[in-house]
Structure 1
Amino acid sequence: MTAEPDVPQETSSCFARFSDVQKSYDGETLVVKGFNLEVRRGEFVTLLGPSGSGKTTCLMMMAGFETPTHGEILLDGVPINKLPPHKRGIGMVFQNYALFPHMSVAENLAFPLEVRGMSKEEIDSKVANALDMVRLGEFGDRRPGQLSGGQQQRVALARALVFEPELVLMDEPLGALDKNLREEMQFEIKRIHQRLGVTMLYVTHDQTEALTMSDRIAVFNDGIVQQLATPEALYEAPENAFVAYFIGENNRLNGVVKSLESSEEYCTVSLDSGEEVKALPIAISAIGERTQLSLRPERVRLLATESNGESLPDNVFTAEVKEVIYLGDHLRTRVSVCGSEEFIIKTPNADGYPVLKPGQSLRVGWDAQDCRALDA
Structure 2
Amino acid sequence: MVETNDPFVRFEDVQKSYDGETLVVKNLWLEIAKGEFLTLLGPSGSGKTTCLMMLAGFESPTHGQILLGRQSITHVPPHKRGIGMVFQNYALFPHMSVAENVGYPLKVRGVGKADMQARVQRALDMVELGHLGGRRPAQLSGGQQQRVALARALVFEPALVLLDEPLGALDKNLREQMQYELKHIHANLGVTMVYVTHDQTEALTMSDRIAVFDDGIIQQLDEPATLYEAPGNAFVAQFIGENNKLLGRVEAVDGPECAVRADSGDMIRATNVRTTGQGGRTLMSLRPERVSINPDPAQVPNVFDAEVLEVIYVGDHIRSRMRVCGHDDFIVKVPNWSGHVHLRPGERLQVGWYAEDCRALDA
TM-score bin (small chain): over 0.9
CA shift for structure 1 position 12: 2.7
Name the residue aligned to 2:285: 294
Name the residue aligned to 1:70: 63
Name the residue aligned to 1:6: none
Mapped to 1, the partners of 2:276 and 2:253 lie a distance apart of 8
The counterpart of 2:301, out of the listed 287, 311, 314, is: 314
Mapped to 2, the partners of 1:98 and 1:185 lie a distance apart of 18
The counterpart of 1:275, out of the listed 255, 266, 271, is: 266
Residue type of the alignment partner of 2:264: S
CA deviation digits over 1:216-255, x for unaligned, max 9? 0000001000000000000000000000000000000000
| Contact persistence 1:48–1:217 (CA under 8 A) | yes
The counterpart of 1:55, out of the listed 48, 51, 60, is: 48
Mapped to 1, the partners of 2:116 and 2:323 lie a distance apart of 64
| Contact persistence 1:347–1:353 (CA under 8 A) | no
Distance 1:88 1:170, change over 3 A: same
| Contact persistence 1:257–1:269 (CA under 8 A) | yes
CA shift for structure 1 position 11: 7.5
CA deviation digits over 1:131-187, x for unaligned, max 9? 000000110000001000000000000000000000000000000000001001000
The counterpart of 1:327, out of the listed 314, 324, 349, is: 314
Name the residue aligned to 1:346: 333
Name the residue aligned to 1:189: 182
CA shift for structure 1 position 350: 1.8
Distance 1:277 1:265, change over 3 A: same
Task: Classify the secondary structure of the residue corresponding to 2:79.
Answer: helix
The counterpart of 2:128, out of the listed 124, 127, 135, is: 135
Residue type of the alignment partner of 1:300: V
Mapped to 1, the partners of 2:6 and 2:185 lie a distance apart of 21
Task: Classify the secondary structure of the residue corresponding to 1:12.
Answer: coil
Residue type of the alignment partner of 1:287: Q
Name the residue aligned to 1:145: 138
CA shift for structure 1 position 285: 2.5
Mapped to 2, the partners of 1:177 and 1:138 lie a distance apart of 22
Mapped to 2, the partners of 1:183 and 1:171 lie a distance apart of 16
CA deviation digits over 1:238-284, x for unaligned, max 9? 000000000000000000000013xx221000011000000001111
Name the residue aligned to 2:89: 96
Residue type of the alignment partner of 2:292: R
| Contact persistence 1:293–1:372 (CA under 8 A) | yes
CA shift for structure 1 position 311: 4.9
Residue type of the alignment partner of 1:303: N
Name the residue aligned to 2:344: 357
1:1-376 alignment to 2 at 5 Å?
Answer: 12-261=5-254, 264-303=255-294, 311-351=298-338, 354-376=341-363
Mapped to 1, the partners of 2:172 and 2:340 lie a distance apart of 30
Task: Classify the secondary structure of the residue corresponding to 1:13.
Answer: coil
CA shift for structure 1 position 326: 0.7
Mapped to 2, the partners of 1:144 and 1:311 lie a distance apart of 64
| Contact persistence 1:300–1:364 (CA under 8 A) | yes
Aligned residues: 363
Mapped to 2, the partners of 1:53 and 1:128 lie a distance apart of 39
Mapped to 2, the partners of 1:108 and 1:11 lie a distance apart of 34
146-155 or 348-357: bigger deviation: 348-357
Mapped to 2, the partners of 1:182 and 1:362 lie a distance apart of 39
Aligned-pair Cα RMSD in Å = 1.5
Mapped to 2, the partners of 1:167 and 1:11 lie a distance apart of 15
119-128 or 282-291: bigger deviation: 282-291
Task: Classify the secondary structure of the residue corresponding to 1:123.
Answer: helix
CA deviation digits over 1:45-104, x for unaligned, max 9? 000000011100000000000000001100011100111111100000000000000000
CA deviation digits over 1:97-147, x for unaligned, max 9? 000000000000111001111100110000000000000011000000100
CA deviation digits over 1:16-49, x for unaligned, max 9? 1111110001110000001111110000000000
Query: TM-score when scaled to structure 2?
Result: 0.98
| Contact persistence 1:312–1:365 (CA under 8 A) | no
Q: Percent identity?
A: 67
Name the residue aligned to 1:3: none
CA shift for structure 1 position 303: 1.4
Distance 1:234 1:128, change over 3 A: same
CA shift for structure 1 position 354: 4.3
